[in-house]
Chain A
């Protein structure tokens, strides 16, 4: 098996020609030029058809909008499959996805397609970044499979192995307003206030897990082999009960399903990922944890703890005797400031050093999805992932 295989984490930025038609905005010359330039760069099949389609500039029909989305999926797949050109002898990520181009984003898409939710407004996550919060107003119910079409398209068009990211129940619960279950538990006498709110979270989560299991089962029936369960909120609620619930929710979601499962999480509280241990390891079917580390690291070269301060938390896995796979986030995704490829190499090598995992068990990836970056920066980040992994491969022999 290949040492230091590479993967993306999920989202990629959307081009303006992908978003404007859905906002009823006319495309400009710049938008068309970007479609042409990136199409040429990525060698996207049928890019001239896209250009002809986009030349209409506004008032796209639903059918035309669907074709535009399909092209954005193609662009994203090619971006993954060509990453590292110019930096690496073997460009391309080993595990690819279509950049969540068909999704509004990782939260809004599932809650829009599960009955029981209502959108109530935007909430600030940090700086000027917000998410549209949905409120659960009745017990959630399956409506339709919200990932099937994009999976089928991606599988048909990707040359590399596909990994489909699916937002988990904990995250949907944590990012939603738990109106219904809070009300349901509000009048339960004899419970501490904190226990009431935990019970409300647990019931909501486990109901969602059943729905997500059905979504994934249908994807597996269509031939998907690898599923990334996205749990960015794994470290949000941090009590012992809540961390146990993260594992319980994962096990409930994957119960009876046969695929390779990985978990992605990111941006823990200041105490780090230690908060998740040991319950993280109770996720029975999880083959790989893909976590963010680049955010907290320095831009200095080196394999010493001071230079690689962001990766100290990895020691936890060794302490707990972890032997399966890890995906290490080597690129901070909330800044346009990029590390050198040598720093990325050192981040990879240091990760191998502190975890004692064989290089083929150590995946290399950006910290998180790249949707908040411009395409030019996202491309450079993926290039660095591929280039840094290749340098590490050479160095480690």
Chain B
């Protein structure tokens, strides 16, 4: 039996909050009080400080926060930059007080493969940390887009992932190291039944299509809902390296053993209330035990743009403290009985 200790990492899982200076700058820019260069300088400083904070808390993969105008919503660079798509009516983003422009599918979806690389802050590539990009997963795209062209969810799923594949290859070439597919539509079902196993398999195929020939580490992160109806199949069907769970919605007891990395959305991104580190650590250790994962990424439950920047940063710092604590616990005691890491 091979025994390995869980490696605890920290990562953001969504768009981050802009800081107050940037907020003011965007409003001043809209009212023509400052020019585009001044606005860009604000965004740059804001991104710098966020990347610096992620480094300080020890994030292995850092994001640029996707703070800029290119990322007004998670779909925007795609709905504005891909052929065949355009932003349509404004619609509420799940159960938040934030809104997005519905991607309207008007023709065959394609891109020049450089849309997303133009939307990220490439200066962070290879500057001591690995850059991560967060994108809508194919299911969320197909569920929220208004399809006026393909006439079938399946065709839409694969058209989207065909276009995304070219983008991911470019991102990989420019030095991005990680892609996370954000997948709220998978678990935010409310009155609808969970997707069928066949639907999940199709999703798995679509993701495989997106990742074909792409040399990025990948994660699949469903949030805003309970993933338990999909467990344990989800872990086998989704082809990404990591799979995550919104643990503000999913009960820990539903998790099961996996050889994948696990993203644990354990810090509530919807409130400034700072959770007790000891309680969180106890839950994290429980998750590590249940899943037997080698890599457990401690994360906010969703985007931290739902609370003001100061609080969002405090949540990130909390994740850093949490990681230190569980690492100390692990190093002091080793794997708890039953010995679990890679026990298969």
B99 in contact with A126 (CB, 8 Å): yes
Stretch at the interface among B90-98, B109-117, B193-201: B90-98
Residues of A within 8 A of B307 (CB): 120-121, 123, 133, 177
Q: Return the CB mask of B269-309 against A: 1 if under 8 Å, else 0.
A: 01111011001000000000000000000000000011111
Cα(A175)–Cα(B89), bound, Å: 22
Interface membership of chain A positions 71-101, coded 1 if the CB is closer than 8 angstroms to chain B and 0 otherwise? 0000000000000000000000000000000
Chain B 6-32 near chain A by CB (<8 Å), digits 1 or 0: 000000000001101001001101100
A124, A128, A269: the one contacting B92 at CB < 8 Å is A269
Report Cα–Cα, A133/B94, bound state, in Å.
19
Given contacts A122-B20, A128-B30, whether A268 and B310 have CB atoms under 8 Å apart is no
Given contacts A239-B190, A240-B190, contact A128 B26 (CB under 8 A): yes
Closest to B30 in A: A128
Residues of A within 8 A of B226 (CB): 194
Q: Which residue of A lies closest to B91 (CB)?
A: A270
Chain B: interface size category: 35 or more
In the complex, the answer to whether B273 meets A122 with C-beta atoms within 8 Å is: no
- Which of B234-265 touch A at CB < 8 Å? 247-251
When A121-B310, A177-B307, A295-B90 are in contact, do A270 and B102 touch as well, CB less than 8 Å?
Answer: yes
Q: For B30, what are the chain A residues with a Cβ–Cβ distance below 8 Å? A: 128
Interface residue A138 (Cβ < 8 Å from any Cβ of B): no
Q: Which one of A6-14, A230-238, A388-396 contacts B? A: A230-238
In the assembled complex, B144 has its CB within 8 A of some CB on chain A: yes
Contacts of B268 in A (CB 8 A): 182, 197
Q: Is B73 an interface residue (CB 8 A)?
A: yes
How far, in whole Å, are A122 and B98 apart by their CA atoms in the complex? 13
CB < 8 Å: which of B89, B99, B143, B250 contacts A125?
A: B99
Residues on A with beta carbons closer than 8 Å to the beta carbon of B94: 238, 269
Within 8 Å of chain A (Cβ to Cβ): is B191? yes
A220 near B: Cβ within 8 Å?
Answer: no
Complex partner residue of B97 from A121, A135, A175, CB under 8 angstroms: A175
Query: What is the bound-complex CA distance between A160 and B317, given in angstroms?
Result: 55
Chain A residue with minimal CB distance to B311? Answer: A120
Decide if A174 is an interface residue (CB 8 Å cutoff): yes
The answer to whether A120 and B272 touch (CB under 8 A), given A125-B99, A133-B307, A270-B144, is yes
A19–B93 Cα gap in the complex (Å)?
Answer: 31
Determine the chain A residues whose CB is within 8 A of the CB of B275 once the complex forms.
186
Residues on B with C-beta less than 8 A from A120 are 272, 307-308, 310-311
A193 touches B90 (CB 8 A): no
A268-B190 CB under 8 A given contacts A122-B20, A123-B305, A193-B250: no
Assess whether A130 is interfacial by the CB under 8 Å rule. yes
With a 10 A CB-CB cut-off, give which of A121, A233, A242 has the most chain B CB atoms: A121
State the Cβ distance, B191 to closest chain A Cβ, in Å: 7
Residue B124 at the chain A interface, CB threshold 8 Å? no
Q: Is A131 an interface residue (CB 8 A)?
A: yes
The digit string for A157-177, where 1 denotes a CB below 8 A from any CB of B, is: 000000000000000001101
Q: Are A131 and B97 in contact (CB under 8 A)?
A: yes
Closest B residue, CB atoms, query A200? B271
CB pair A133–B308 under 8 Å, yes or no, is yes
Counting CB contacts under 8 A, is B72 at the interface?
Answer: yes
Q: Which residues of A contact B250 (CB under 8 A)?
A: 193
On whether the beta carbons of B98 and A177 are closer than 8 Å, the reply is no
The reply on A304 being an interface residue by CB < 8 A is no
B266 nearest in chain A by CB position: A193
Known: A179-B272, A182-B268. A126 touches B27 (CB 8 A): no
Residues of B within 8 A of A295 (CB): 89-90
Check B100 for interface membership: any CB of A closer than 8 A.
yes
Q: CA A197 – CA B273 in complex, angstroms?
A: 12
Q: Chain A: which residue is nearest B144 at the CB level?
A: A270
The A346-373 residues at the B interface (CB cut-off 8 A) are none
Distance of A334 Cα from B97 Cα, bound (Å) = 16
Which residues of A have CB within 8 Å of B279?
186-187
Contact, CB under 8 Å: A334 / B90: yes
B190–A275 CB distance below 8 A: yes
Contacts of A127 in B (CB 8 A): 72
Task: Give Cα A182–Cα B307 distance, bound, in whole angstroms.
Answer: 14
Picked from B144, B270, B305, the residue with its CB within 8 Å of the CB of A124 is B305
Cα separation A177 to B191 with both chains bound (whole Å) = 26
Confirm or deny: A296 has a beta carbon within 8 angstroms of a beta carbon on chain B.
yes
Q: Which of A280-329 contact B (CB under 8 A)?
A: 295-296, 310
What is the CA–CA distance of A177 and B309 in the complex, to the nearest angstrom? 13
Q: Quick one: which of A135, A197, A267 contacts B91, CB cutoff 8 A?
A: A267
Q: Which residues of A contact B17 (CB under 8 A)?
A: 121, 123-124
User: CA separation between A192 and B248, bound complex, in Å?
Assistant: 9
Is A183 part of the binding interface, using a Cβ–Cβ cutoff of 8 Å? yes
- A125:B92 contact, CB within 8 angstroms: no
10 A–B contacts from the bound complex (CB under 8 Å): A122-B308, A123-B307, A125-B99, A133-B307, A179-B271, A183-B273, A197-B268, A270-B143, A295-B90, A334-B90
